[in-house]
């Protein structure tokens, strides 16, 4: 450290401040110290340091390795929010959220003395593992089990599905079909509940549920069946990729959207505005989810007491061109 101070032309104390990420160091000075560290190959040894302080300003995240839009956006939004608040975020990306894998990932985070844990836990299979986690660690789940006991922040899936379904009913459709996501995802379950609830509240028939996964391929596959059924005039899909595959299937069968069939998606992926036709969909507020998650986590870190607080963040319906009244019943 003396060498670093000498090379950077600063005091011993300044080097220490930079290493401790003290806020009151000028950017230029910080850079000079960092450069000196790089030149000397000196690694500020966080492992040794946390042995002394017992606490770091790192938040440990666990997420399932996924290129899916929802989880990827939640992860990215949380990283951004936490970093803006001065935390570093370390992400353990796991193959699946089973008991063994999750326990190990969390264990590694705890070994590094993270200040708190945030786990994106969208599938029911994670429940078993989550029960095994130590109770005294600040923890917030994102998109986890609404019936669990941990602190939780979720998109209000049920409300989003109601907006979508009501929007189609208001356009005059007698009922709405639903292509759902995989059954073990809480997102899927919440959206199915909202869809069913909206239909029942309006006194409409609930058509059989069409179960798929999150892919355009599944939307296409199920869409080829629905396209052959003339009584199907309105479909709510559990995400936008499913809607894209469905649009393709309807196009191939000569059924026009929205003239013959209306569609509402979920997610508002950046491409949804450029589908043929531009998609009416439900937009979750990932930034608000991230902000609420950090807030709940900080409250636990500060109080030292775990909580079961929960927040649900309302999504917004984005109206574009894929919804119209049903075709006039021609004999």
Partner 1 sequence: MTVERPATDEGAPPDPGGTAGPPRGTIMRDVAKLAGVSHQTVSRVLNGHPHVRPETRLRVLEAMRSLNYRRNLTARTLATRRSHTLGIIGFETTLFGPASLLYGIEHAAREAGYLVSVVTVRELDRRPVLAAMDRLAQHAVDGIIAIAPKAAITTALAQAPPGLCRVAVGGAGEADGTPAVRIDNALGARLATRHLLDLGHATVHHVAGPADWPEAAERVRGWRATLDDAGAPVPPVDPRWWNAKSGYERGRLLACDPAVTAIFCANDRIALGVLRALHETGRSVPADVSVVGFDDMPDSGYFVPPLTTVRQDFTELGRRSIALLLGQMRGDPAHAGGGDRADRVVVAPELVVRGSTAGPPPR
Binding to partner 1 (CB under 8 A) within 182-221 occurs at 215-217, 219-220
Site for partner 1 in 271-310 (CB under 8 A): 271, 273-276, 278
CB of 223 to partner 1, least distance (A): 9
Site for partner 1 in 125-144 (CB under 8 A): 132, 134, 136-137
Q: What CA–CA distance (Å, rounded) separates 74 from 72?
A: 6
Nearer to partner 1, 3 or 170 (CB): 3
Q: What CA–CA distance (Å, rounded) separates 116 from 170?
A: 45
Hey, what's the torsion of the CAs at 23, 24, 27, 29, to 10 degrees? -120
Site for partner 1 in 72-101 (CB under 8 A): 72-73, 75-76, 79-80, 83, 88-93, 95, 99-100
Nearer to partner 1, 66 or 125 (CB): 66
CB of 206 to partner 1, least distance (A): 28
The token duo for 296 is: 């709940």
Cβ neighbours of 325 (radius 10 Å): 14
Q: Which of 108, 204, 253, 283 binds partner 1 (CB under 8 A)?
A: 108
Nearer to partner 1, 58 or 159 (CB): 58
Nearer to partner 1, 23 or 54 (CB): 54
By CB under 8 A, the count of residues binding partner 1 is 72
Given the rule CB under 8 A, which of 58-66, 180-188, 224-232, 295-303 is the region that contacts partner 1? 58-66
| Beta bridge pairs of residue 237 | 179
What residue ranges in the chain does DSSP mark as E strands?
Answer: 58-64, 88-94, 116-120, 139-142, 151-155, 177-180, 210-211, 234-237, 262-264, 281-283, 310-313, 316-318
Q: Binding marks (x or -) toward partner 1, 234..273, rule CB under 8 A?
A: -------x--xx-xx--x------------------xx-x
CB of 188 to partner 1, least distance (A): 18
For the chain, count helices (H), then strands (E).
12, 12
What residue ranges in 115-260 does DSSP mark as E strands?
Answer: 116-120, 139-142, 151-155, 177-180, 210-211, 234-237
Closest CA to 242 of 281, 286, 205: 281
Q: What CA–CA distance (Å, rounded) separates 2 from 19?
A: 13
Closest CA to 122 of 78, 166, 74: 74
What residue ranges in 47-183 does DSSP mark as E strands?
Answer: 58-64, 88-94, 116-120, 139-142, 151-155, 177-180
Q: Is 7 buried (19+), middle (13-18) or exposed (0-12) by CB count in 10 A?
A: middle
Q: Which of 2, 26, 28, 54 binds partner 1 (CB under 8 A)?
A: 54
Given the rule CB under 8 A, which of 39-47, 147-155, 165-173, 187-195 is the region that contacts partner 1? 39-47
Nearer to partner 1, 173 or 241 (CB): 241
Q: Binding marks (x or -) toward partner 1, 146..185, rule CB under 8 A?
A: ----------------------------------------
| Beta bridge pairs of residue 286 | none
Nearer to partner 1, 132 or 149 (CB): 132
Given the rule CB under 8 A, which of 13-21, 228-236, 292-300, 323-331 is the region that contacts partner 1? 13-21
- Rule CB under 8 A: say whether 104 interacts with partner 1: yes
Q: Which of 55, 200, 228, 256 binds partner 1 (CB under 8 A)?
A: 55
Given the rule CB under 8 A, which of 106-114, 162-170, 172-180, 187-195 is the region that contacts partner 1? 106-114
- Rule CB under 8 A: say whether 32 interacts with partner 1: no
């Amino acid at each position: 450290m003396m060498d670093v101070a000498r090379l950077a032309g600063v005091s011993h104390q300044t080097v220490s401040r930079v290493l401790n990420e003290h806020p009151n160091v000028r950017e230029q000075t910080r850079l000079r110290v960092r450069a000196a560290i790089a030149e000397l190959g000196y690694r500020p040894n966080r492992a040794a340091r946390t042995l002394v302080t017992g606490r770091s300003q790192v938040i440990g995240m666990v997420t399932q390795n996924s290129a899916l839009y929802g989880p990827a956006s939640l992860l990215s939004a949380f990283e951004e929010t936490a970093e803006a608040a001065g935390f570093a975020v370390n992400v353990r990306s796991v193959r699946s959220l089973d008991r063994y894998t999750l326990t190990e990932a969390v264990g590694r985070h705890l070994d590094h003395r993270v200040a708190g844990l945030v786990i994106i836990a969208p599938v029911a299979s994670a429940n078993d593992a989550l029960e095994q986690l130590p109770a005294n660690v600040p923890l917030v789940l994102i998109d986890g089990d609404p019936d669990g006991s941990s602190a939780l922040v979720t998109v209000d899936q049920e409300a989003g599905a109601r907006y979508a379904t009501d929007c189609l009913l208001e356009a005059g459709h007698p009922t709405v079909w639903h292509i759902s996501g995989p059954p073990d995802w809480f997102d899927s379950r919440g959206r199915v509940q909202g869809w069913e609830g909206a239909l029942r509240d309006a006194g409409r028939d609930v058509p059989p549920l069409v179960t798929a996964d999150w892919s355009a391929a599944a939307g296409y596959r199920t869409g080829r069946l629905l396209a052959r059924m003339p009584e199907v005039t309105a479909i709510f899909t559990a995400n936008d990729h499913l809607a894209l595959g469905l649009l393709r299937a309807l196009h191939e069968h000569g059924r026009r959207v929205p003239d013959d069939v209306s569609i509402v998606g979920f997610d508002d992926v950046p491409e949804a505005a450029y589908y043929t036709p531009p998609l009416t969909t439900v937009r979750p507020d990932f930034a608000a989810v991230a902000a609420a998650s950090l807030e709940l986590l900080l409250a636990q870190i500060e109080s030292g007491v775990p909580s079961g607080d929960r927040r649900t963040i309302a999504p917004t319906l984005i109206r574009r061109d894929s919804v119209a009244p049903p075709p006039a019943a021609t004999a």
